[in-house]
Chains A and B, each alone.
Chain A
Amino acid sequence: MTAIAKPAGPQRRRTRPLAQACLYAVLGALALVYIFPFLVQVATSFKPDAEAAANTVALIPQTFTFAAYDRLFAHSDFPLWFANSAVVTVAATLGRVFFASLAGYALARLRFRGRSLVFALIVAVMAVPSVVLLIPKFLVLNQLGLYDSYAGMIVPLLVDAAGVFIMKNFFESIPVSIEEQARIDGAGPFRTYWSVVLPMARPALVTIVILSFQGSWNELSHFIVATQSPELTTLTKGVASLSSGQLSQGTQYPVKLAAAAIMTIPVAILFFVFQKHIVNKSEGAVKG
């Protein structure tokens, strides 16, 4: 309180302890609101069914049990869903990193007729809302005979326009001189791209990896319209079916919440590993 009584110069006004305390109190309360649901989720997944329904807030289970996890891993298709999601996500991420950087490089550096048209089309495609594509995607997959197959799940996810856009912007921001040296030394465009440009593009490639991993892992609507057989169910589709009541009886919250918690782990790991990068990425996106 003494700080307020002092003659308030510009510097002093910024560090009033009371204001600081308020700031931390508000932030702390908000952080609690944001974190608490996830704590409840994890806690509930270790409770028996009856306790989960009766006491929904307690963070420490009275009876600690692995029953929900045991049921998921030993007595359900959950491991299969997880494997399907992993296969699709890895394939889609590899594809996007390669195709987006390749096309981004061409659009940024190589001079060819129709380049600006191609770029304009890619930007236009970015504006099409994905929900509009639900029915159309099914029609085309069906027409091509890709419906209900791994190919139908993966191929449409191999490319995304936003990734091409990010890579193009990145290549335009790095100096051209090193590539020119390689070209003078006789390297063709692909060699220049592969062994000179790509190693320099690591920060942008990490961005693409994060975006496409998160996007493919969390994708739901594409898999709904692209598949129907149980063997091709992904985590998102499987957990959604758990939620909309395909369990035999009761609410069975521990099983549902355990499933949701496990499907969050891979993206959470990705998030914590690349945390610094994610924060900087959004900065770059605004600047660019």
Chain B
Amino acid sequence: MTLAPQTPRRTGSSSGPARTGPARRARRGEGTAGWLFTLPVIVILGLFLLVPVLMALWVSFSDWTGRGSPLAPGVGFVGLDNYAEITSGGGLPERDFGLAMRNNAWYVLLVVPLQTGLSLFLAVLVNRAVLRGRGFFRTAFYFPSVTSSVAITVLWMFLFSSSGAVNQVLSWVGLSGPNWFNDPRGIVHVALSSIGVDSGPAALTGSDALGVTWWDWLSGPSVAMSAFILMAVFTTSGTFMLLFIAALQNIGPEIDEAGLMDGASAWQRFWRLTLPQLRPTLFTVLTLGLIGCWQVFDQIYTGTQGAPGKTTLTPAYLSYEAAFRDQRWGQGAAISFILFAVIVAFTLFQRWALRERDGERRFRKTANGGAP
């Protein structure tokens, strides 16, 4: 592996203008090969991703009822009717969509911070330099992530059944747990009723959005949904922990040691020195978490099918149910596109909220180093 003779060859390969005949012919061969090599990917992705999305977009604007092809001449264009029906129709579809959005919004609101916080916490603990048995703990925390959502849901239904392991463990410390997956009460409502508030003020119960009163929007996730929230935190924290561990290992100990010399406490060093360096990973984890959380489907399909009292209904499951069970294909497709828009909007918002404040940083640099 002598480096010197290879250097001129490498310079030659970077596309210079002076090329000899054979080399140009080789490049033409490359063109064909390039397209041939990428063809399977292009065809399959095109056929099962791009075309389907376009077709579903058409269905969301049509009155197709599931019989025959949606491209058949009898299928009519109905404009935004399907979208209007689920966002302002005043009927059951609108209310179901409102409930699904309510349930999933609470799910996101709780799962994303909890899984990010817990995975970061686990990563910091496991990453302690002096720790023995690091491999064991890493394995233990990561293992739930490799199992399928179906298998975990089956297990969860058992653990959280009325006389299940969770309630038995709770009874050891004198608590009587709820009948988790059959309890439709929102946890905020439960907390309020424990201090004597059983119904909301007229301002909240009198008006509504998407067919769900504001009082019901603020109910919190139902007890059943809370069990799913715990499950999501349990199954995803391991994956995100690995991402944080990798990032922590890439941070050199120098800055931390400098902080130590300056007398900063462990707490200060973590918040002021370590966390800012984890910003890119934090962004990745929050984005992946957010995208994943808006797509809850497997768990609902396997576990509760939206019950109890439609409090575990999610837009993804509602979209499936509307299309495949109720044959309201246009509405089902419309729900999935609204969901798509929600995911894109959240991702963009997050990117904006967590952006590197480049201007400030550059300014500070110039102010410090640029002065003559």
Q: Which residues of A contact B (CB under 8 A)?
A: 10, 13-15, 20, 23, 26-27, 30-31, 34-38, 40-41, 44, 53-54, 56-57, 99-100, 102-103, 105-107, 110-115, 118, 121-122, 125, 127-140, 142-144, 155-156, 158-159, 161, 164, 176-177, 180, 183, 188-190, 193, 214, 217-218, 220-221, 224-225, 235-236, 239-240, 242-244, 251, 253, 256-257, 259-261, 263-264, 267-268, 270-271, 275, 278-279, 282-283, 285-287
Supposing A131-B339, A221-B298, A279-B242 touch, asked if A111 and B125 sit within 8 A by C-beta, the answer is no
What are the residues of chain A within 8 A of B6 when measuring CB–CB?
177
A56, A244, A263, A287: the one contacting B148 at CB < 8 Å is A263
Give per-residue flags for B23-35: 1 if the beta carbon is below 8 A from chain A beta carbons, else 0. Answer: 0001101111111
For residue B305, CB closer than 8 A to chain A, the reply is yes
Residue of A nearest to B30 (CB): A110
Residue of B nearest to A13 (CB): B260
B148, B332, B344: the one contacting A264 at CB < 8 Å is B148
Residue of B nearest to A41 (CB): B155
What are the residues of chain B within 8 A of A256 when measuring CB–CB?
154, 157-158
What are the residues of chain A within 8 A of B15 when measuring CB–CB?
111
How many B residues face the partner with a CB closer than 8 A? 108
Supposing A135-B323, A267-B146 touch, asked if A140 and B154 sit within 8 A by C-beta, the answer is no
Supposing A10-B257, A23-B128, A27-B126 touch, asked if A129 and B143 sit within 8 A by C-beta, the answer is no
- Say yes or no: B247 contacts A286, CB within 8 Å: yes
Q: Is the interface of B mostly helix, strand, loop or mixed?
A: helix
A10, A136, A138, A217: the one contacting B260 at CB < 8 Å is A10
Residue of A nearest to B304 (CB): A244
For residue B349, CB closer than 8 A to chain A, the reply is no
What are the residues of chain A within 8 A of B158 when measuring CB–CB?
40-41, 44, 56, 253, 256-257
Sort A-B residue pairs by CB-CB distance and give the 4 closest, nearest first.
A136-B52, A112-B34, A106-B37, A218-B148
What CA separation (Å) do A195 and B139 show in the bound complex?
Answer: 36
What are the residues of chain A within 8 A of B136 when measuring CB–CB?
31
Supposing A40-B159, A57-B168, A159-B44 touch, asked if A257 and B26 sit within 8 A by C-beta, the answer is no
- Say yes or no: B31 contacts A133, CB within 8 Å: no
For residue B219, CB closer than 8 A to chain A, the reply is no
What CA separation (Å) do A143 and B339 show in the bound complex?
Answer: 25
What are the residues of chain A within 8 A of B273 when measuring CB–CB?
none
- Say yes or no: A131 contacts B154, CB within 8 Å: no
- Say yes or no: B284 contacts A220, CB within 8 Å: no
A37, A118, A242: the one contacting B159 at CB < 8 Å is A37
What CA separation (Å) do A271 and B138 show in the bound complex?
Answer: 12
- Say yes or no: A106 contacts B47, CB within 8 Å: no
A112, A144, A224: the one contacting B301 at CB < 8 Å is A224
What CA separation (Å) do A159 and B164 show in the bound complex?
Answer: 41
Q: Apart from A110-B30, A225-B320, A242-B154, what are 12 other A-B pairs with CB-CB below 8 Å?
A: A10-B261, A31-B136, A34-B144, A36-B165, A103-B40, A111-B34, A131-B339, A188-B33, A218-B147, A220-B297, A236-B298, A286-B246
- Say yes or no: B151 contacts A260, CB within 8 Å: yes
Residue of B nearest to A179 (CB): B13
Most buried by A among B37, B125, B146, B333: B37
What are the residues of chain A within 8 A of B150 when measuring CB–CB?
218, 220, 235-236, 239-240, 243, 260, 263
Nearest Cβ on chain A to B139's Cβ, whole angstroms:
7
What CA separation (Å) do A146 and B140 show in the bound complex?
Answer: 41
- Say yes or no: A56 contacts B155, CB within 8 Å: no
For residue B234, CB closer than 8 A to chain A, the reply is yes
For residue B130, CB closer than 8 A to chain A, the reply is yes
Q: Is the interface of A mostly helix, strand, loop or mixed?
A: helix
Nearest Cβ on chain B to A213's Cβ, whole angstroms:
10
For residue B250, CB closer than 8 A to chain A, the reply is yes
For residue B213, CB closer than 8 A to chain A, the reply is no
- Say yes or no: A30 contacts B30, CB within 8 Å: no
- Say yes or no: B56 contacts A30, CB within 8 Å: no
For residue B236, CB closer than 8 A to chain A, the reply is no
What are the residues of chain A within 8 A of B294 when measuring CB–CB?
129
Supposing A27-B137, A140-B55, A188-B33 touch, asked if A128 and B49 sit within 8 A by C-beta, the answer is yes
- Say yes or no: B329 contacts A135, CB within 8 Å: yes
Give per-residue flags for B117-138: 1 if the beta carbon is below 8 A from chain A beta carbons, else 0. Answer: 0000010011011110000111
What are the residues of chain B within 8 A of A128 when measuring CB–CB?
49, 53, 340
Residue of B nearest to A177 (CB): B6
For residue B336, CB closer than 8 A to chain A, the reply is yes
For residue B361, CB closer than 8 A to chain A, the reply is no
- Say yes or no: B33 contacts A190, CB within 8 Å: yes
- Say yes or no: B297 contacts A221, CB within 8 Å: yes
Residue of B nearest to A143 (CB): B69
Residue of B nearest to A163 (CB): B41
What CA separation (Å) do A189 and B294 show in the bound complex?
Answer: 43
